[in-house]
A and B are shown apart, each in its own frame.
Chain A
C-alpha cells in the first residue's frame, strides 16, 4: 500500500506513504539544523546550554540565544517554507520548473516595493510588508498581462519574467545608488537576501501573514492537485479554475513578498525547493508540502553555511542559496541527462 487514507466524519485525507515519511525526515532535518543554528555563533553553546536558554534561564549567553539566534533560526524555517511553497504554487501555475517567483521577477518587484517604502516612507515593518506585496503583485500582473496575448505558453511567460526580473533588478540597483548613504547601506545589506540581524521586532507581522497564507494554501492543496491534471479534467471535476488561479497567485505573491520585505530577495529557494521536493517525493506534478519543507531545510542550512563559511565575515544568505541551490539543480539536470540520454523532447 502506498497511500494512507484518514477518514473522520465527512472529512477524508489521502496521503501517500512516501510523502509522510519524507515529511517526517525533513522535519527531523529541520529540527537538527535548528539546534545547530542555536548552538552556532561567535561562541559555541552546547545543546544543554541551548535547552537551558529555551527554558528561560537568565544570563548573558542565554539572552543571546533567545533574542538573537532563536528569531534567526525560526525566520530561516518559516521563510524557507514560505519560499518553497510559493515556488511550488507558481511552478504549478506556469507548469514549468523555471516559472518560479524568483526567476520571473516577483522577488525583484517585491524588493522594488520595499525599497520605495524604505526611501519614500518611514519603512516600518507593516509598510515594508504591504509595499513589497504590492510590488510583487504589480510585477505578477505586468508579467501575466505581457504574456497573455496569444495564450500563456510556459516558455513565453518565463522569458518575459526573466526580462522583467532583469529590468526590475536594474531599477533596484538604481534606486539604491540614488538613495541617501545610510538608506543605501541598509538596502545593500539585503539586496542579496540576508537574515543577518533579524530580531523579534521584525518578525511578528511577517510570521502572522505567512501562517495565514500557508493555511489558505493547505486548504487548496487538493484543488491544486486536480488542476495539475489539465484544464479540462480540472473543470470536469468541479474546479473553478480562474478563481483558483487568482487565489493561488495572491497566496504565492503574498508569501514571497512577505519574505522579501524582511530578508530581501533570497533567490533560488523557490526555484530549487519544489523541484528537489518533487524528486524526493517521487510525486507527479509539484507537490506543495515537500516543497515547503525542503525550502525550510534549504534556507536554514544555507543560513548556517552563510555564517560559518567565511567565519568573521557573515555572508548574505542569498549568496549561499544561489550557490547551493544552483549546484543541486545542475547535478539534477546532469543526472537526468545521464539516465535518459534519448529523451530529447522532455523539458
Chain B
C-alpha cells in the first residue's frame, strides 16, 4: 500500500500527529505513580500546586519533551542518511555516528572539558561529524561495507569508552544512565540548547527535502533539474551529524530509531523525501515515547534504559521491514 495522493498523505500525517499527542499524554501519565489522562491535561492547561501537577510539570513533561526531541532527531537523521547513501540499512546508530558522538562526550568528560550543556553539545556534534566522515571515507562504495565499517567503529569506540569509565569511575558517575542510552535522570539537566538545535535541525531537514528528492534521482538528473548536488549533500550530511550528535548528547547512544522509523513510514511517503522526513519527524517521537513508557513498566522496580526497549521493539520491526 503506497499512498500517492496528497490529501491521503496529509490525512496520514495528521493521524500520526494525533498518535503523537496520545503517546505524549500516555507517557506523562504512566510511571511509578500513575496519573489519569484527564488529570494530565488539567495539569498542562491549568497548572496548580498539587503533587500530581508538580510531578507532571517538573519530571514527566520535561522527560516527554526529551523523548519527542530525541525521537524526532534520530528518525529524521535516519531518513536523511538512508536517502544520502541510498542504503536502506543506513542509520546513525548502525553507521557509528551515534557512537562517535557518545565517545566524544565520554572523552570530553574524561579530559574535564565537557562542563556545560552547550559545550557538551558541541563536542557531541564534532564527534558525530568525525565518525561520519571516517565511516563515509572508509566504507563508501557498497552498502555492506558501509555497515561493516560502522559496526566496527562503534564497537571500537564502545570498548574504549567502557575502559575510560572503568578507569575514572567518579567522573562518569553522572553519565551512568546516559552511557547505555536512557532518558532517566536527565529531567533536571540543562537541555534547552540541544532541544533548540534539534528543532532547528528538523526544520532545516524539512526545507531541504525537495532538493534531496532531486538528488535521490541520481546526480545527473539532479544537475539537470538545476539542483547543485554537492552543497545539498553537504548540508544533509551536516544535518545528520548535528541531529545525531544533539540526540546523543541528550540521551546517550540509542540505536535503531533511525532505522525503524523510515522503514515504517516509507509506505506512507512513497519515494518523496519531504514526506519521508515529515512522517519520520512525527512517528519517531511516538516510537521513543512508547519505548520510554515501556522502560518504566518492564521492571517490577526501577527502570530499564530506553535504549534496551528500542532494541527490543526495533529488532522485530526491522525483521518485518526486511522481509516485506
Q: Out of A103, A164, A174, A319, which one reaches B315, CB within 8 Å?
A: A164
Q: In this assembly, does A198 line the interface, its C-beta being within 8 Å of a C-beta of chain B?
A: no
Do residues B298 and A319 form an inter-chain contact, with CB atoms below 8 A? no
Q: Which of A32-40, A71-79, A327-335 is found at the contact surface with chain B? A: A327-335
B316 at the interface (CB under 8 A from A): yes
Within 8 A of B (CB), among A311-329: 313, 315, 319-320, 322-323, 325-327, 329
Tell whether, in the assembled complex, residue A333 and residue B138 are in contact, meaning their CB atoms are under 8 Å apart. yes
Tell me, yes or no, whether A11 is within 8 Å of chain B by CB.
no
Interface pair A170/B315, CB less than 8 Å apart: yes
Q: Which of B64-109 contact A (CB under 8 A)?
A: 89, 94
**Residue from the list B138, B139, B308, B323 in contact with A173, Cβ < 8 A:** B308
| B143-A155 in contact (CB<8A) | yes
Which residue of the partner chain, among A146, A159, A315, contacts B166 with CB atoms under 8 Å?
Answer: A315
Question: Are B163's CB and A310's CB within 8 A?
Answer: yes
Give the docked Cα–Cα distance between A159 and B298 (Å).
26
A167: chain B residues within 8 A (beta carbon): 311-312, 314-316
Shortest distance between the CB of A331 and any CB in chain B (Å)? 9
Stretch at the interface among B20-28, B147-155, B204-212, B219-227: B147-155
**Contacting A322 at CB < 8 Å: which of B137, B141, B159?**
B159
Name the distance in Å between B10's Cβ and chain A's nearest Cβ. 32
A200 to B142, CA, bound (A): 46
Contact B159 A319 (CB under 8 A): yes
Check B156 against A327 for contact (C-beta < 8 Å): yes
Choose among A103, A268, A322, A330 the residue that contacts B149 (Cβ–Cβ < 8 A).
A330
Say how far B132's CB is from chain A's closest CB, in angstroms: 14
Given A98-B148, A334-B138, A337-B141, decide whether A309 and B308 contact each other with a Cβ distance below 8 A: no
Interface centre among A158, A170, A343 (most CB of B within 10 A): A170
Given contacts A160-B319, A167-B315, A310-B167, contact A322 B156 (CB under 8 A): yes
Decide if B318 is an interface residue (CB 8 Å cutoff).
yes
Cα-based distance from A155 to B319 in the complex (angstroms): 12
| Interface pair A329/B319, CB less than 8 Å apart | no
- Tell me which residues from 147 to 182 in chain B have a Cβ below 8 Å from any Cβ of chain A: 147-149, 151-156, 158-160, 162-163, 166-167
Cβ–Cβ contact B144 & A326, under 8 A:
no
Q: Are A322 and B144 in contact (CB under 8 A)?
A: no
Q: How large is the interface on A (under 10, 10 to 19, 20 to 34, 35 or more residues)?
A: 35 or more
| Residue B304, interface by CB 8 Å | yes
Pick the most buried of A149, A167, A171: most chain B CB atoms within 10 A of its CB.
A167
Q: Any chain B CB within 8 A of the CB of A284?
A: no
Q: Does any Cβ of B come within 8 Å of A169's Cβ?
A: yes
Give the interface size bracket for B toward A: 35 or more
Describe B's contact surface by its main secondary structure.
helix
Write the chain B residue with the least CB distance to A319. Answer: B159
User: Is there an interface contact between B312 and A174, defined as CB atoms closer than 8 Å?
Assistant: yes
Q: Mark A145-156, 1 if CB is under 8 A from B, else 0.
A: 010011000011
Which residues 275-322 of A sit at the B interface, judged by CB distance below 8 A? 309-310, 313, 315, 319-320, 322
Residues of the B chain whose Cβ atoms lie less than 8 Å from the Cβ of A229: none
Closest Cβ of chain B to A174, distance in Å, is 6
The distance in angstroms between the C-alpha atoms of A94 and B182, with both chains bound, is 35
- A134 within 8 Å of B (CB atoms): no
> Roughly how many angstroms separate A12 CA and B315 CA in the complex, as a whole number?
47
Which A residues lie within 8 Å of B319 (CB)? 146, 160, 163-164
B19 CB to closest chain A CB (Å) equals 23
Report yes or no: A323 in contact with B155, Cβ–Cβ below 8 A: yes
1/0 contact string of A91-122 vs chain B (CB within 8 Å): 00000111000010000000000000000000
Task: Give 29 pairs: A residue, B residue, CB < 8 Å, sorted on A.
Answer: A97-B148, A155-B144, A158-B144, A160-B318, A160-B322, A162-B94, A163-B314, A163-B315, A163-B322, A166-B255, A166-B256, A166-B315, A167-B314, A168-B315, A171-B312, A174-B299, A267-B155, A310-B166, A322-B159, A325-B152, A326-B159, A329-B148, A329-B152, A330-B149, A333-B139, A333-B152, A337-B140, A343-B141, A344-B141
B residues contacting A by CB (< 8 A) are 89, 94, 137-145, 147-149, 151-156, 158-160, 162-163, 166-167, 255-256, 298-300, 302, 304-305, 308-309, 311-312, 314-316, 318-319, 322-323
10 more A-B residue pairs beyond the given contacts A165-B315, A327-B152, with a C-beta to C-beta distance below 8 A: A155-B89, A158-B144, A171-B312, A174-B304, A315-B163, A315-B166, A322-B155, A330-B153, A346-B141, A346-B142
